[in-house]
Amino acid sequence: MKRLETIANIAVIIAVVALVIFLGHQELIHRNSPSVATARSLEGKAVHLPGVKFAAQSRTLVMVISTRCHFCRDSEPFYKELAEKSGSRVKLVAVLPQPQAEAELYVRQAIAPSIQVVSMRIDSLGVTGTPTLLLIDGSGRVQKAWVGKLDASSQQQVQSLL
């Protein structure tokens, strides 16, 4: 009986160690994921958007999205909330790779009619995928970037910075 108890205790210890190693590995993967690395590489870069003037006294949130991106569509409620809550504190701009008319129609119907829409190639911004959010300062430089569909904590981070 004592031997069986010892074996059970050893098995529990091994299972806990394996779980800790697995979770640590998952966190390491997340911190070094391509989306985190891509977001970091965008920070500090100058952004030029045709027809968009960055005001020295405010910030701009650029939403790089696509009408053909299911992650963008899944994120529409969050983008609507941003549009409602940002008010005049932060300017919102949507950048889409689709033609201007298609891009405007999508943004007006799916997110908000007040958002400025720019049609351009997203790779000219250094962005490789959608959705990507860029918080731009008054001088046109990226302060913070988020790549991919955001989880709840990342969404809260975006909202807190606005």
Rounded to 5 degrees, φ, ψ at 115 are -80, 130
Query: Rounded to 5 degrees, what angle do the CA atoms 58, 62, 66 make?
Result: 165
Q: Lowest-confidence range among 26-40, 50-64, 86-100, 101-115?
A: 26-40
Residue 132 has pLDDT above 80, yes or no: yes
What confidence category does residue 31 fall into, taking pLDDT thresholds of 50, 70 and 90? very low
CA 50 – CA 117 distance, rounded (Å):
10
What confidence category does residue 24 fall into, taking pLDDT thresholds of 50, 70 and 90? low
CA 60 – CA 150 distance, rounded (Å):
18
Residues 6+ apart with CB under 8 A from 138: 54, 55, 56, 57, 58, 59
Residue 21 has pLDDT above 90, yes or no: no
pLDDT at 110: 95
pLDDT at 75: 95
Q: Is the Cβ–Cβ distance between 138 and 57 less than 8 Å?
A: yes
Average per-residue pLDDT for the chain: 84
What confidence category does residue 144 fall into, taking pLDDT thresholds of 50, 70 and 90? very high
Provide the whole-model pTM.
Answer: 0.75
Comparison of pLDDT for 98 and 32, the residue scoring more? 98
pLDDT tens digit sequence for 40-76:
778 888 888 998 888 777 889 999 999 999 999 999 9
